[in-house]
Structure 1
């Protein structure tokens, strides 16, 4: 709800000074008052906080400089503009105030026109800053949605080329999210893995259909070509992206076929040299591949797939992440059921899963 008037907090130990400033400001602003630094901090930390603080310097117990310092140290109040109003108007006093984060200085005795002009200017600057911040956030969200849409399109294109419905990328992305949530790296990283995972096999766009859809076992030469798809994926996504989302997608595409024991591809990385995102997606991808029907095989049972992943802990997979995966199997199976191959509207599910347009 928008407030009709902006709020100015006046802090001064002398009631007559508060009254003077209240008389000057009250026709245009809502004025609150505090006679001590402690009370000023309490009011400033309330919700909603004041839009501006006019702060006396010389006060008993806690002077204005200390009040300003504490306000600027607290993230909840750091952005409130502070104007010092004081008889201490030497250059050193003003320098100290500005160094602490004040935006202006008004000397006592105050002149109404000066107070109104300075307060109005600083509040206008603050509003302009907030407006620019909102525009930046809006543009950032638009760019994020563009990146997500790119990932959705390329991820789904790769799955269609691999004779899949597109639901594979949804299921394995959710499996990756479930595993990632149990790793102590923060919610932002979990969301990055979740949203980037659909691009894990985008490199299959560069693999001939005759190899991708071959119903039998691949020859040695065909397998060598198939093993190129992580590098193709990295090339498709590109390098040196300022977007963490796209750089994470590249990392996953390039490393999700590496193995814990160093026998994977394309680089033969081992252990923790494999990026965590690649290790997480490796388990999610293999579990869904095993339990899904492919041109060259029937779907495995959940029991058989889980047994293989357990057996390959410390060989193919990060053993700690396998433990996490097994502990979260009920949540994994809920996702498997929710996004079964009979589920309709793949595009809508991909938009929902990636948070596009949210």
Structure 2
């Protein structure tokens, strides 16, 4: 049942009164009808149905002693339901003991009024709690808007960051027209290796989902230092001389320094740039210490660089160059396996074996054209 004066606008707040006594419903309806749209429920079950109907009440005045389900149970259900939990409940009851009032507040009620009622007090408290609810709803809506806006801005910044990373990486790769989709392949190889290696208990915590995401974002910058290598060396189709190879080796340091400079400009440490520095500087290190630029060995080589080392070599093996044809997966696999404990971390090689089907799918997905 709803009580509404003719000519009143539906924009008035909706107040639900739940009471099993017809006289009480009539009294409250008459008291509230000039200021509110009033809905009346003669039972707890009816009250719950109205609370979930449209338009939803902004406030519930709730009797406690009712024959079907009492007011405490009605309040409990209202607060347990996501659709109604934010509707303020005022108990309106003849129960005047302190423990009854305490129980009502414990269940989530915002107020407790004992009968017989004082009309001015009821009207004042209803008005106050409706104002409080309106303020709470406004803040909740604002918070939801702000959260959505933060997510949108975060996604936007993330997209710009990802595009910038790929643009920087592509700048290095475009100077070597033989590399094709090398960036994308190695990026996904590293992710596949990390996911597989995370199954090993000792790496489970280190290679969390977030850490793998950082690795994935950092991987494209592994050869950024190539921008500093002269074309005569970078594009030379023949074997490099020892002097030329020494210059080529500088791309690891140049890459690390370029990322370090970018980090200094930001004035803060960024996780993916920290990871990118490790990859750029150390992905040419070898497990047995025979790599460059520092001659690191074993686990002294950063894990991100050990993953990239295998990904980079595998891709070089299967890719066509002017001076060689690309090798079939089976042969490249054999070379990788034979390099375990010399060139590559043995556990990374085991991870490669565990996800080699994924490597082949990645190679097919990002195959060079032409």
Partner of 2:72: 35
Closer, same or farther: CA 310–26 of 1 in aligned 2, 3 Å: farther
- Number of the residue aligned with 2:132: 118
Report the Cα distance in structure 2 between the residues aligned to 1:59 and 1:255, rounded to whole angstroms.
Answer: 70
**C-alpha distance after superposition, 1:94-114 (max 9, x if no partner):** xxxxxxxxxxxxx99961221
Contact 2:307 2:348 in 1 (8 A): yes
Report the equivalent of 2:353: 326
Match of 2:88 in 1: 54
**C-alpha contact (below 8 Å) 1:55/1:64 kept by paired residues:** no
* Contact 2:78–2:84 (8 Å) recurs in 1: no
| Cα displacement (A) at 1:281 | 1.6
Query: Can you list the C-alpha shifts for 1:142-176, whole angstroms capped at 9, x where unaligned?
Result: 11111111111121121111223531111111211
The 3 A distance-change label for structure 1 pair 162 and 50 is: farther
Structure number, greater radius of gyration: 2
Task: Say if 2:154 is the partner of 1:140.
Answer: yes
Q: Please list every run of 5 or more consecutive structure 2 residues that lacks an aligned counterpart in the other structure.
A: 1-10, 40-53, 61-70, 92-97, 114-120, 199-203
Matches within 5 A, 1:244-283: 244-283=271-310
Single out whichever of 168-177 and 299-308 deviates more from structure 2.
Answer: 299-308
3-state DSSP of counterpart to 1:287 = helix
CA deviation map 1:8-30 (0-9, x unaligned): 9x9xx9989xx989996878962
**Partner Cα separation in structure 2 for residue 261 and residue 177 of structure 1:** 24
Q: Give the corresponding residue for 1:305.
A: 332
The answer to whether structure 1 residue 186 and structure 2 residue 231 are counterparts is no
Question: Per-residue displacement from partner, 1:94-142 (whole Å, max 9, x unpaired)?
Answer: xxxxxxxxxxxxx999612211111101110111111112111111111
Match of 1:227 in 2: 249
Cα distance in 2 for partners of 1:329, 1:311 equals 15
Q: Is the 8 A contact 1:214 1:296 kept in 2?
A: no
Q: What is the TM-score normalised by the length of structure 2?
A: 0.67
Deviates more, 1:147-156 or 1:193-202: 193-202
Once the two structures are TM-superposed, the CA of residue 256 in structure 1 deviates from its matched residue by: 1.7
* Matched-pair contact (CA < 8 Å) for 1:147–1:245: no
How many angstroms apart in 1 are the aligned matches of 2:20 and 2:99? 12
Q: Distance in 2 between matches of 1:188 and 1:64?
A: 45
User: How well do the aligned residues superpose, as a CA RMSD in angstroms?
Assistant: 4.0
> Using a 3 Å threshold, how does the CA distance of structure 1 residues 225 and 304 change in structure 2: closer, same or farther?
same
Instruction: Count residues with an aligned counterpart.
Output: 300
User: 2-side partners of 1:188 and 1:340: how far apart?
Assistant: 28
**Cα offset for 1:303?**
2.4
1:153 corresponds, among 163, 167, 171, to: 167
How far residue 280 of structure 1 moved from its aligned partner, in angstroms, is 1.6
- Of residues 228-237 and 115-124 in structure 1, the stretch that sits farther from structure 2 once superposed is 228-237
Alignment of 1:85 with 2:111, yes or no, is yes
* Alignment match, 2:220: 198
